[in-house]
Homo-oligomer: A and B are copies of this chain.
Amino acid sequence: MAMAFDLSLYLVTDPRLTAARGLEATVAAAVKGGVTLVQLRDPQAHGRALVEQARALKTLLAPLGIPLVINDRVDVAVAADADGVHLGQDDMTPADARALLGPGRILGLSVGNPAEHAASDLCGVDYLGVGPVKATGTKVDAGAAIGPSGVAAVRALTRLPLVGIGGIDAAMAPEVIRAGANGIAVVSAICGADDPEAAAKTLRAAVSAAR
């Protein structure tokens, strides 16, 4: 069984948006503001740089008890002793990833809509990322926006914990939670904020208020 984790406010990093402030400084501020889980995502980075980034974030997050998951690369997650992996539909299957990760690490899977949920082998998956809820510029290969109603449709199909993802801001967060999401995942709303700590605080409060 995977370690306990809290999906309330799930941060996905973006190398372009964190470039000015720096990855670690952005994540540190975000966590101070209430982020409960961090995903390192940098699809263009080479393995060596990713391992270095993952180790730096792990050093930052472990003492705070905030889990770190790595997008796509199971090898990087294990090398950096991260807490888990988040997979897209084009990545290694969850079953293959679970065999490499062992039972103790967190495994997440992106699901675009109810049909994709139905077609996914969820064996070994601990949580789902559902979306894009709204169209977004940070993930160009994402599917069509499904709205909070799409989140509710996936919610009805599974008992797994799930986060809504894609274009969610503080104004939209309550709808996503009321659609049955256990939390919200954000990229731009924190990485692109002038004050990531304040942005995280506002988002976390919006999630709490909607429950």
Contact = CB atoms under 8 A, between A and B. Distances in A.
Contact of A51 (B72, B76, B88, B93): B93
A97 B48 CA distance: 10
Nearest to A49: B90
Interface string A159-185: 000000000000000000000000000
A196 B89 CA distance: 34
A101 to B, nearest CB: 9
Chain A binding surface, main DSSP class: helix
A72 to B, nearest CB: 6
Contact of A92 (B72, B75, B100): B75
A79 interface: yes
Size bracket, chain A contacts:
20 to 34
Interface of A: 46-49, 51, 72-76, 78-79, 87-93, 96-97, 99-100
A84 to B, nearest CB: 13
B92 A51 contact: yes
A76 B48 contact: no
The 10 lowest CB-CB distance pairs between A and B, nearest first, are A46-B90, A74-B75, A75-B75, A47-B92, A47-B91, A79-B96, A48-B90, A51-B92, A75-B100, A48-B92
A48 to B, nearest CB: 5
Contacts of A74: 75, 79
Residue in A72, A76, A89, A96 with the greatest tally of chain B CB atoms within 10 Å: A96
Contacts of A46: 88, 90-91
A72 B100 CA distance: 16
A96 B49 contact: no
Contact of A79 (B88, B89, B90, B100): B100
A72 B90 contact: no
A74 B74 CA distance: 8
A76 B92 contact: yes
Contacts of A79: 74, 92, 96-97, 99-100
A211 to B, nearest CB: 35
